[in-house]
A = this chain, B = another copy of it.
Amino acid sequence: MGTGLDLPLDSVLRGDCIESLKRLPPASVHAIFADPPYNLQLKTELRRPDDSLVDGVDDAWDRFDDLATYDRFTREWLTECRRVLRRDGTIWVMGSYHNVFRLGVALQDLGFWILNDVVWRKSNPMPNFRGRRFTNAHETLIWAARGEESRYRFNYAAMKSMNDDKQMRSDWLIPLCTGNERLRGPDGTKLHPTQKPEALLHRVILACTAPGEVVLDPFLGTGTTAAVAKRLGRRFIGLERDPGYADAAEARLATIEPLSESVALALPAKREQPRIPFGALVERGLVPPGTKLWDRHRRWQAEVGVDATLRCGRVAGSIHQVGAAVQEAPSCNGWTFWHIERRDGTLRVIDELRAELAPGS
């Protein structure tokens, strides 16, 4: 709808994130990654339910005020995020047990539709020094679509190939951000207390966006989301209220080179490739009319007609319809159900023949 022209792409917007969000056009970003602040620091940044400013040294704060204020803040920025998110977009929100339950409830109450909760398992967590609890070795990421009916993007094949050709699970083992990746000041101290590892953002961005799409981070910090988005050939918008963090993020982004298009493009999933109708195989002579097809166990046999229909006894129709009918199943993928006979008598599934018609072969 042309709203893309108003988007401040590939930039870091300074100032209050809710104010910045309100200036972005609706339904304009494909993905949001949010690592909101929590813990006591919040007390200095937030307002009470009655909108009064909170004094950071106010000892009168009780637990209810604390949680209610946090909830109010959470719902405010999530509401704006939902407005800015495209209908087919998804959002990632991460937190620890201190705040993640409040984040999840806010998401559900605002109409987001949770797709997964993902556990970032830290391979090198901080030990529990006092020995009074389990080592807090993970954080939680909630992945949600804008609504229940959203047709969101999930790059299933890319995730599967990342995981040695097995489905990617909801528990991810990734080390903390340390070593050279950790941004440090001239005195060697870390620039940001909770800098996230690029590997985490790599997986997040690769899972739910395509090259050229827009990733928004309302709590950019020192810019990990933007850096990984840029490297992967995505566009980014980062919001950050702390000038020091924003400076560090911009300096970091200037050093990032996008990967070449061919490398950044994940292999397309089967469902994203052009469809080849069965009729094409018949026309091209790979399955001439009159060919007999069998199921894997040779329990059923059918014959191909000139119009690419199958006939099996009194049943006739598409490869899918006849496959379903003979099995008395509600549906059937004829491509993987039916086989042709090789000269040596062995069977070959007709789905393999489609590959021979695919472009580039």
Known: A155-B307, A164-B318, A262-B311. 18 other contacts (CB 8 A): A51-B329, A119-B171, A131-B154, A131-B167, A135-B169, A135-B170, A136-B170, A165-B318, A165-B320, A173-B280, A175-B284, A181-B285, A202-B282, A202-B306, A232-B306, A263-B289, A263-B306, A265-B305
List, in ascending order, chain B residues with CB within 8 A of A360's CB.
314
Residue of B nearest to A284 (CB): B199
In the complex, the count of this chain's copies comes to 2
Q: Is B109 touching A206 in the complex (CB atoms < 8 A)?
A: no
Residue of B nearest to A154 (CB): B132
Binds B, one of A6-14, A96-104, A340-348: A96-104
Q: Is A260 touching B290 in the complex (CB atoms < 8 A)?
A: yes
Binds B, one of A17-25, A81-89, A121-129, A217-225: A121-129
Q: Is B264 touching A289 in the complex (CB atoms < 8 A)?
A: yes
Binds B, one of A27-35, A247-255, A271-279: A271-279
Complex interface residues of chain A between 314 and 361 (CB less than 8 A to chain B): 314, 316-318, 320, 327, 329-332, 359-361
Q: What 0/1 readout, one digit per residue, does chain A (163-181) give for beta carbons within 8 Å of chain B? A: 1110111110111000001
Which one of A51, A102, A278, A279 has the highest number of Cβ atoms from chain B below 10 Å of its Cβ? A279
Q: Is B116 touching A108 in the complex (CB atoms < 8 A)?
A: no
Residue of B nearest to A318 (CB): B165
